[in-house]
């Protein structure tokens, strides 16, 4: 099996890298927090001291980092991937970042004859753990076909969406739909609770109809069971919606619903709820209605 460099062992990157190990791949890992590195080494990975060293030792490098600045720094910055990389190497960035930054990084790497794909994921920590993420890929068809088995080791679905940048455009669209859907579920369950209905019963009654969705099934039970541990944190969704709104403004695409949900999440940040799962968006509506959505 091939040796893979993996940079970024956070809430998503650590279980993703473990799934690569389970699939039989050898890993060279780097992370600023050394505890995560120690854990991966204990399970058979090798440690590297820098992104540059990862690049020197691997012909495939995967990054899974918080946002555009971190990816740019790790790949293009001092002691970064670009300083140790060899021609023909593939860099797959699985972070959720601005599409324009993906294209910028790709252009810089191409000057060294290094290949690049953006491949952000959807599914959150639970699907990262069980290896059933959905991966949205931007890159060439040839590269996608070559590295598809690697992506499949971490996912139930990997789809080529277009050239470099298209993966992150697709992820932005995904995050719009998820955010607005959570807001709609929150609004509906607060109304139902305020009107005297049991929110769990309402959920069971509507989930099989047109209102049913993956978001409804994943998030409604968390709301009425009051389980807001992440999951996918509100502060990460705020980051994604910042990229959505920035891209929308650049492209001339108005995003009024996205902007509204962003303000809801910013309000929860003021209440120190930004570390909670994004299902905690229901608490925005609960504060307005002075009621709590929970089982009766």
| Domains of the chain, residue spans | 3-164, 169-289
User: CA 30, CA 295: separation in Å to the nearest integer?
Assistant: 44
What pLDDT does 2 receive? 63
CATH topology of domain 3-164: Rossmann fold (3.40.50)
E strands, the chain, where? Answer: 3-7, 26-30, 46-47, 60-63, 90-93, 115-118, 121-122, 133-138, 155-162
The pLDDT tens digits for 201-244 are 999 999 999 999 999 999 999 999 999 998 789 999 999 999 99
From the list 204, 136, 213, 225, the residue with the least C-alpha distance to 180 is 213
- CATH (residue range 169-289): 1.10.1040.10
Does pLDDT of 282 surpass 60? yes
Q: Which of 127, 171, 219, 296 is catalytic?
A: 171
Domains 3-164 and 169-289 alike in fold: no
What pLDDT does 231 receive? 79
**Is 219 assigned a catalytic role?**
no
The pLDDT tens digits for 270-280 are 999 999 999 99
One-character DSSP codes across 188-249: HHHHHHHTT--HHHHHHHHTTSTT--HHHHHHHHHHHHT----SSBHHHHHHHHHHHHHHHH
The pLDDT tens digits for 120-159 are 999 888 899 999 999 999 999 999 999 999 999 999 999 9
């Amino acid at each position: 099996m091939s040796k893979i460099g993996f940079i970024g062992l956070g809430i998503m990157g650590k279980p993703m890298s473990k799934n690569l190990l389970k699939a039989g791949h050898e890993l060279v890992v780097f992370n600023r927090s050394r505890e995560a590195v120690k854990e991966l080494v204990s399970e058979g990975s090798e440690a590297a001291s820098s992104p540059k060293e990862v690049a020197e030792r691997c012909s495939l490098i995967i990054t899974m980092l918080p946002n555009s600045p971190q990816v740019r720094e790790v790949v293009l910055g001092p002691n970064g991937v670009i300083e140790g990389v060899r021609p023909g190497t593939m860099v797959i960035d699985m972070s959720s970042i601005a599409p324009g930054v993906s294209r910028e990084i790709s252009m810089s790497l191409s000057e060294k004859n290094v290949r690049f794909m953006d491949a952000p994921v959807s599914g959150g920590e639970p699907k990262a753990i069980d290896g059933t993420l959905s991966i949205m890929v931007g890159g060439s068809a040839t590269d996608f076909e070559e590295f598809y088995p690697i992506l499949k080791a971490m996912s139930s679905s990997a789809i080529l969406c277009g050239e470099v940048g298209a993966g992150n455009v697709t992820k932005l669209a995904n995050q719009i739909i998820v955010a607005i859907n959570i807001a709609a579920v929150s609004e509906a369950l607060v109304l139902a609770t305020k009107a005297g209905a049991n929110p769990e019963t309402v959920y069971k009654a509507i989930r099989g109809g047109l209102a049913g969705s993956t978001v409804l099934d994943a998030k409604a039970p968390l709301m009425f069971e009051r389980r807001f541990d992440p999951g996918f944190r509100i502060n990460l969704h705020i980051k994604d919606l910042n990229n959505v709104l920035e891209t929308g403004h650049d492209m001339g695409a108005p995003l009024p619903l996205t902007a509204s949900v962003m303000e809801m999440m910013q309000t929860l940040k003021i209440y120190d709820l930004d570390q909670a799962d994004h299902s905690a968006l229901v608490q925005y509506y609960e504060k307005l209605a002075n009621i709590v959505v929970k089982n009766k």
